[in-house]
Structure 1
Amino acid sequence: MSDSEQNGSNQNTGETAEAHAERAEAAEQQASTPEDKLGEAQAEAARMREQLLRTAADFDNFRKRSRREVEEAQRRGREAILKDLLPVFDNLERAASHAESAPDAKSVAEGVRIVTKQFVDTLDRMGIKRIAAVGKPFDPSVHEAIQQLDSTEHPAGVVIAEVQPGYMLGDYLIRAAMVVVSKGSPVEPAPAAN
């Protein structure tokens, strides 16, 4: 085959490939009529809607499951605390019934001290600590000042009395201590000049 024949053959092949591509494009355009495009868009919208509904249902189920798990954890926490506190309550009831028939106040006081220690030990096991107050500098993050008094024994800003104890659970404040804070020494009026 001569070079000119081969070039002619390549031209025919090139034209044929171009014609084939044009025919494929035309066929694709014919298949993609506006109605077909609308149908495809509607099908895609339906798929997306279904996916959205499934996602919303999954999220709703997750939210409900999470709420149930939190409620269950809270219930178990309350149950554990009550199991620790009920023996203290039982002993308080025993002390109260014993107080009615006790011949002396000393035995009742001793019983109350024992129950108080049991309660403090129970709180300690739970990680609940009493806030130190008396003799400490006033700290508004853990103390609630209910009164200020003049004091010659304590400098200003120091807690001189605890009205109600405060408690912490780890770093979390359960209840601030209600305290009386020193204002320091009273200022004596200057003598009048004559």
Structure 2
Amino acid sequence: MLFFNPCKIEVLYFHSKYLRRPPPINGVVVGNTNVLPSSKVRNIGVVFDPIMKMEKHIYTVCKSVSYHLRNIKHIQKFLTKNALLKLVHALITSRLDYCNAILYGLPACRLNRLQLWLPIDKRITFKILLITYKALHNKTPEYISQLLTSRSVNCSGSMRSTTNRFILSVPASRLKTYGDRAFSVAAPRLWNTLPSLYP
């Protein structure tokens, strides 16, 4: 009993930034409506662009954060410190953290706008490592856990126990622009750089 709403359907054609002339797309027919490709689409609050530069998404986040910061500043003197911290976390930090793992691998020049508020690159790394930890302990959907494969390594002549440390296999990535940013590649690389808890 589900129906498409042609007014809310968006089409985006992803392609490599090195592709000079993307193949022309006249649109996608949904029911009786021909939906033309867009230069950006929004999905679960994230703004995507054709070559995943994420500039429009970063702009949207910065605009939202600036708007709320201005509003908080106007009422700051009426709030207790505890209430102010809760408000900043609810309206600012939550927006900077929301789906920020998708920004992994972007050049620093794009993340600099978000760096004005928080060390966003470290928060992105933390988010990916947190999801990785949950995936290794069966606290994520199966489709995420299946992206990770653990292996044993020989450390100082002895096999490192999987109860002490998971070493994850890093799959080969052909597309350095997009492939290295995929969770299946980024998560094992970041996880394997963590220091061991045991000598």
Task: Tell me: higher relative CO, structure 1 or 2? Use CA pairs within 8 A at least 6 residues apart.
Answer: 1
- Larger strand percent: 1
- Larger helix percent: 1
Question: TM-score, with normalisation over the residues of structure 2?
Answer: 0.23
Highest CA radius of gyration, 1 or 2?
1
